Amino acid sequence: MSMLCVNAFSVSIDGFGAGPDQSRSQPLGRGGEQLHQWLLPTRTFQRDVQRRDGGTTGIDDDFAARSFENLGAWIMGRNMFGPVRGPWPNDEWKGWWGANPPYHVPVFVLTHHARPPLEMEGGTVFHFVTEGIAAALAQARAAARGKVVRIGGGAATIRQYLQAGLLDELHVAISPILLGRGEPLFEGIDLPALGYRVKAHVATEAAMHLVIGR
């Protein structure tokens, strides 16, 4: 059965996975773009997301590359897909990433409002799931065909899968910043009681990488 993982999810030292006041102009909230300074310069991000040559190598890039290995499907919350709230007014919004999103596999978006599947360039197909996290996971595992199912975020979506005990592994990159407010990742969750422990940790100048699993 496909593993369910969170890979390369950035949080601040005070535990926030996005800043406050998220909007179309600030999709990661105020200050949230600072969370990913460890990732943005890496060769993996430049090549696979920005489609550019160059980029840094080393431990940060190793974790970035690891996050894309053996992926068969993604799951994300509606807030990660876009800023539209409530019933979909139309099919105009197609995500933050342009015509060719960096996923290239089926993506299952949690939402309360139905919408037809959205086919994009490069093999990405967004499926909108209204039946909850278990249904999204079942559909993602069927699509992944034994490969990894990755939860992209946001923090609220990861929390739901954590609290349900469904996550197999999390790679969290703690960035050396303070946000003060925003979307908390672990608040109120007793990870040891759910059977999770830190399996690996390594620090770089840009982040502390933690691998948490059972």
Per-10-residue mean pLDDT of the chain, 214 residues long, equals 96 96 87 95 91 93 96 96 91 92 96 97 97 98 98 95 96 97 95 96 98 96
Alpha-helical (H) ranges within the chain are 43-48, 59-66, 78-81, 133-144, 155-163
CA distances from 21 to 56, 77, 143 (A): 31, 17, 34
Residue 188 maps to a domain: yes
Q: Structurally, how many domains does the chain consist of?
A: 1
**Amino acid 75: pLDDT:** 98
**Would you say 8 and 63 are in contact if contact means Cβ atoms under 8 Å apart?**
yes
Torsion region of 30: left, alpha or beta (phi above 0 gives left; psi -120 to 50 gives alpha): beta
Write down the pLDDT at residue 25.
86
Q: Is 195 domain-assigned?
A: yes
Residue 13 lies in a domain: yes
With respect to residue 179, please indicate whether it lies within any of the assigned structural domains: yes
Task: Identify the pLDDT of residue 24.
Answer: 83
Q: Please check whether residue 65 lies inside any domain of the structure.
A: yes
The alpha carbon torsion through 71, 198, 207, 44 (nearest 10 deg) reads -20
Position 22 scores a pLDDT of 85
- Asked whether residue 95 is assigned to any structural domain, the reply reads no
The predicted structure's pLDDT at residue 63? 97
CATH classification of the domain holding 164: 3.40.430.10
Residue 94 domain-assigned (yes or no)? no
- 93 found inside a domain: no
The string over 153-185, giving b where at least 16 C-beta atoms fall within 10 Å of a residue's C-beta and e elsewhere, is bbbbbbbbbbeeeebbbbbbbbbebebeebbbb
What is the domain range of residue 22? 4-86+100-213
What pLDDT score was predicted for residue 114? 96
Residue 85: its pLDDT value, please? 87
Q: Which tokens is 57 given?
A: 């190598």
The contacts of residue 132 (CB under 8 Å, 6+ apart) are: 110
